Amino acid sequence: MLREELLALWGIGEETADSICLYAANKPIFVVDAYTVRLFSRLGLASEDISYAELQTLFMKHLKHEARHFNEYHALIVIHGKEKCRKREPQCGECVLRRRCAYFTKT
């Protein structure tokens, strides 16, 4: 209900609404952002053009529905995206996921 109310407000999209639900209201919903799409498409687990809802459903289907769990998982993705799986100059040689990464094996 909160998510729908937020989405009804001008200027609030899915990522913002879900961030408010997860981080401010402590609701168990997974936040998808550019880091999430980049990491999971590079790993070969999702396509680059996957929709927000499709990628969110993938996480919601496979992860335990606890706000703190979603919060931590998302935070780890963001850290990894900023430090290793960068948009420009990714640090693949230092990445702990490189052996399972389709992007790394192509380069």
Quick one: DSSP state of residue 75? H
Torsion angle, CA of 29/33/38/40, rounded to 10 degrees? 0
Please give the average per-residue pLDDT across 51-62, as a whole number: 96
Percent above pLDDT 70 for the chain: 100
Query: pLDDT band at residue 107, thresholds of 50, 70 and 90?
Result: confident
pTM exceeding the 0.75 threshold for the entire prediction? yes
CATH number for 31-106 (one of 3.30.450.20, 3.30.565.10, 1.10.1670.10, 3.30.70.100): it is 1.10.1670.10
Query: CA triplet 15, 103, 88: central angle to 5 degrees?
Result: 65
Residue 32 backbone zone (phi > 0: left; psi -120 to 50: alpha; other: beta) = beta
Q: What integer pLDDT is reported at residue 106 of this predicted model?
A: 84
| Per-residue pLDDT tens over the stretch 74-106 | 999 999 999 999 999 999 999 999 999 999 998
Spans of all domains in the chain = 31-106
pLDDT of residue 42 exceeding 80, the answer is yes
